[in-house]
Amino acid sequence: MIKNYIKIAWRNLIKDKLNTALNVIGLSVAFAVAILLGMAAMYQLSYDGFHENGDSIYKIVKTQQTPKGPQAGTVHPAPFARTLKTQVPGVKRITRYLQDGTLAILGDKEMDMNIIWVDKDFFSMFSLPIISGDQNEPLSDVSSIVLTEKTAVSLFGTTAIVGESFNLLVEGKEKPFTVTAIAKDNVPESNLEFQMAAQFESHHSYLKNKDNWDANYHDVYVELEDGVTASSFKKNSQSYIDSHYEKAISELKRDGASADVNGRYMNLDMIPLTDVHFLSLKNGFVEVSRSLPYLILGVAFLILFIACVNYVNMSIARSAKRLKEIGIRKTLGAQKKQLFFQFWSESLFVFLVSICIGVVLSFAFVDEFKTTFNTNVNVDMLLKPIFLLVLLGVVFLITIFVGGYPALLMSRLGTIQSLKGKLESTGSNRVRDLLMVFQFGIAILLITGTLVLWGQIDYMRNIDLGYDKEQVISFPLNGKRNSNDVVDLLRDELKGNPNIISISGADNNLGLGRDGSRSTSKIGFEFEGRAVTTNFLVVDHEFVQTLGIDLVRGRNFESASDSLGVVINEAMAKELGVEDPLLAQLELDDGKYYPVLGVVKDYNFNDLDRAIEPITFYMTREWGISYAYAKVGPNNMAASFEILESTWKKLEPNAEFLGSFLDENVDRTFNREKTTAKMISSGSILAIILSCMGLFAMSLLIVSQRTKEIGIRKVVGASVASITYILTKDFLKLVLVAFLIASPIAWWVMREWLQNYTYRIDLSIWFFVGAGTIAVIIAMLTIGSRTIRAARANPVKSLRTE
């Protein structure tokens, strides 16, 4: 019996080659895309899920109520971790975590490295295997350092280097470190990336801040003891917070902050390790959002859904050609169950072939997928048990429901009805139309999302940020020389070059540079009896001129020695709340006041999903700067870039030049949005293609069913245009209904998404009109050629058609 099912299924599929090919192609592409997108989503969801003790590890976030609302931060003072472990029960292990860049020096070799400064518990808490050296306590003293395998090979040429020493550049001086262990290379799905790890106490800022509760500059991870929950630990930590932050809490009360629902002004929040990758502190709230991987899964589901709709619709439409076959089988004694399995076996054959082709396609295009969507998925993920189970489950459900519905519909037809070759198509047509509305609705939804996403990205690219991003180049000062001296030397070397307008520097970059490093500094102080917080930026005296930031009041720093005052932005002037900010004196150090020299116009120094915050410029050679800025002339900027690079190489021959224009830096901050836009765009294109494949097949079948009708209409005088209109109007009505349903949904979804951005586009009606127009035009092009051909056919041939 099974052999008979397979033989007949094969014959029927081969007999109708066009529809079979369309089904197999559509399902194969849909399966391939769904597999790739599923791997990307699973990769995102698997971040930091490989740590053996991960269920007990948390990142600590401090939240507080301020007069302006809640505020959350992940950075803590140096004594926080030490006292928390001894004073709050339930801590099994704890580590401070500070990520930084450093210069490793071995003989004549100099290399920029990503280093983390951590406590001794770090390698015991996290599953970061030590492959050689001291596995029990790799960071035994302040001169110990752990390298990854790749780092060891890059620096020494081999991994057999335990006991070897090299230097790190610390505050302009070389400090020796000894390799005590080699760790396995980082896995891609980890937030704890590093090239080398050293003890936290060896960091240059530790000694001056080890007992300072006001300097917050590092993260803290804690592993709780067995049986201790995050909620119970949070409750136990309340007395600790009240004790160590008593002064800060009293200042919050004084300044008018309102307590939370539990009557508290400051708390610790425990973020599970697997949630850290999805953590956001936007608008002062702790938010964990997995929207991106779920969006990826959603697009994968929609693509599969469209392909399955195609199959169902074409199967129902094809059933009219097999009515006599069904009638004869029933006359000969075939039961409903046998007919069901006969038709279902055809579906099963198509799905099995399609999934096999889909898997092959996903293997073939995985590298292109990784490049396009900036993800580290690999084919090994296909072999993971959970992924295989999900994939098999999806295929099984699709086979049962998508393949089973047409089989069930055909097996339930009556014998006489089948032998007459008549199909009561009202119910099946209703299902077909409903599915096509869903299909084109999804396509219109994705097209609208694509248009809005790219519109928002284009808006952010072209918005006036308040500084010159087209003509300014930034690069990290990653050499051995003192950073302030390097800026002075660059200025002297390029002084006579007409293409270089000015040189300056600061301790932070604008946007995201080629070194991938980002940081912010904030400082709090008392001003007129209340607490004030501001972003803090150490700058060179020509910073404002080089960036092209407008000065609205007062003056700028006039020389390298003009370090007795500060320059603030308009948001900071508003924060001070005084009539004339130029008369204000800011107590940035205990007992030391700095006058406000000038006020600059607000500019976007943060990402565009955040409002402009107060910022204060301070000039000192004691703290150093990290990035240089060079403003170049508008003519031949590529040549100016090369001149700047060659001058840098002259001053720092062993340091890599990582320069980039600020507009490139800003563009890199949109990587998440660009990846999402590419994904939605690709999904839209594929959704339209699959929908049109189904529409084309449906038009072929319906035209073939109405051949005699077309012939009669032509005989009685119907024009080609009128016949074309009759054949296409029903399809276009379905597209219009899909547009009317999808547009409100798209409007709501995109409006909610745009709320994440302080600076955003208006949700114009033209986005939706454009999406609907695109869908209608593509649908008309798909069915138009076939219907026009049918309308122009010889009516004699049409009337002879059986």
Question: For the chain, how many helices (H) and strands (E)?
Answer: 27, 25
Distance of CA 637 to the CA centre of its chain: 32
Q: What is the pLDDT of residue 760?
A: 85
The percent of residues above 90 in pLDDT, for the chain, comes to: 27
Q: What is the pLDDT of residue 785?
A: 65
Tokens for 524?
């709090």
* φ, ψ (nearest 5 deg) of residue 776: -65, -45
Q: What is the pLDDT of residue 426?
A: 44
Q: What is the pLDDT of residue 519?
A: 76
DSSP 8-state symbol, 265: S
The residue whose two tokens read 């300044």 is: 255
Q: What is the pLDDT of residue 308?
A: 82
10/352 Cα distance (integer angstroms): 13
- Among 44-48, 202-206, 308-312, 726-730, where is mean pLDDT lowest? 726-730
* φ, ψ (nearest 5 deg) of residue 355: -65, -35
136/120 Cα distance (integer angstroms): 10
* Strands 196-199 and 69-73, bridge-based pairing: unpaired
* φ, ψ (nearest 5 deg) of residue 324: -65, -35
DSSP 8-state symbol, 88: S
Tokens for 317?
């439409």
Q: Which residues pair with 51 in a beta bridge?
A: none
Average pLDDT score over residue span 635-661? 89
**What pLDDT, in 10s, does the model give residues 606-647?**
888 778 889 999 988 887 888 999 999 988 888 899 999 999
* Strands 530-538 and 615-618, bridge-based pairing: parallel
Q: What is the pLDDT of residue 686?
A: 84
Most confident of 21-35, 365-379, 498-512, 706-720: 498-512
Average pLDDT score over residue span 148-169? 92
Q: What is the pLDDT of residue 11?
A: 56
The residue whose two tokens read 């994968």 is: 300
Average pLDDT score over residue span 572-589? 89
Nearest to 28 by CA among 393, 395, 441: 395
Q: Which residues pair with 664 in a beta bridge?
A: none
Average pLDDT score over residue span 719-746? 80
What is the identity of the amino acid at 169?
L
Is the pLDDT confidence value at 431 over 90? no
Nearest to 413 by CA among 479, 306, 321: 321
pTM: 0.82
**What pLDDT, in 10s, does the model give residues 755-782?**
878 788 888 888 998 888 888 888 777 7
**What pLDDT, in 10s, does the model give residues 324-381?**
565 555 565 555 666 666 667 777 778 888 888 988 888 888 888 888 777 787 777 7
Is the pLDDT confidence value at 57 over 80? yes
Average pLDDT score over residue span 488-493? 90
603 falls in which pLDDT band (50, 70, 90)? very high
Average pLDDT score over residue span 115-139? 91
- Among 271-285, 311-325, 731-745, where is mean pLDDT lowest? 311-325
- Among 609-613, 701-705, 721-725, where is mean pLDDT lowest? 701-705
474 falls in which pLDDT band (50, 70, 90)? very high
Top pLDDT among 23 and 219 is at 219
Is the pLDDT confidence value at 720 over 70? no
Nearest to 50 by CA among 277, 206, 263: 277
Q: What is the pLDDT of residue 428?
A: 53
- Among 121-135, 281-295, 463-477, where is mean pLDDT lowest? 281-295
Mean pLDDT of the chain: 83
Is the pLDDT confidence value at 799 over 60? no
Q: What is the pLDDT of residue 473?
A: 93
Is the pLDDT confidence value at 569 over 90? yes
Cβ–Cβ under 8 Å, residues 437 and 431: no
Alpha-carbon distance values, 107 to 168, 200, 481 (Å): 12, 25, 16
8 falls in which pLDDT band (50, 70, 90)? low
Q: What is the pLDDT of residue 338?
A: 61
- Among 180-184, 213-217, 382-386, 532-536, where is mean pLDDT lowest? 382-386
Q: What is the pLDDT of residue 340?
A: 63
